[in-house]
Structure 1
């Protein structure tokens, strides 16, 4: 038990309790301050806390300002550089990185590390096992970017001409021109909005 642990100095006790705080922050997915409050208020760690705070304790929990002064400056500096850090530096800075950026599958550092491993020819399944990330995420990260289909030249003018006849709906025009209906609708709406018309008016042959 920590109560029976011999604490040789205040500095060693403080380093020990900061390590416990960092571990709690990572394991419980808590911000550093919340993890610190949880650790210092734990009765099982009271002797360690008293050794860390020395003769300055006045019987009340330490303030947030005091807990912040205990933070590891080197790791804090790494967290300040996030996301421009390496995967190793990310692990060191993890307790001080905002919780919303700690999830492995949402972290740019982990994605960068994944790309580096996969580009060496390591199979996706092995990459997933080594990094502790789901295989579906690895596939999503390493998937080749989708190329946008090039739209036919002058398709918007042709669409307006077809709609002006009043013989075709937007759905039919999209099929005739081989253009996604949503894309055609969005671009036509911009055009007709500029002319104070509605798409319904355009479909029945209203002049534009």
Structure 2
């Protein structure tokens, strides 16, 4: 069986306050690229600006220089698996920009994938420059997120696929409210990452698109 790093390129720590996936990758002895070493060392989400919003931009901030370096390091011939944690109360899920990557998401064993049609990163996230998926594995510093990351890594070693519900983000939530992620709100929209403290808005609006098997 080929090593996981031969099939996928793992990256973690694009945000320095998300160390849990890094610990799981180290524990599993999985090769990976560290996203933002300086922010991680300081325990901060970023130093100057959000690294996952500056890919493809020029400039001399810590994050823009790191984004440039990452695009030199990260290969283009295999899917990138970008691991994250969050502050929102939500079940774990995958994120894709290109729907053609949904089959990769199906190998994680998770039950939900979100297609980011509405690009909150203005076209400057890592997934705008590399084929791959992002995975929200759970809350910052939680044991559950750590355990799930190990389980996802184990699932990715095989070729089995799982059914997934596909959601599509189409806007941001403008008003605060009593939102439950992935539960229809007032027959209007399905909240995604509602309550995420890193966002300047209450969350994202999504619609259910389909189920894939």
TM-score, normalised with respect to structure 2: 0.20
Q: Which has the higher strand share?
A: 2
* Structure possessing the higher relative contact order (Cα contacts under 8 Å, 6 or more residues apart): 2
Larger radius of gyration: 1
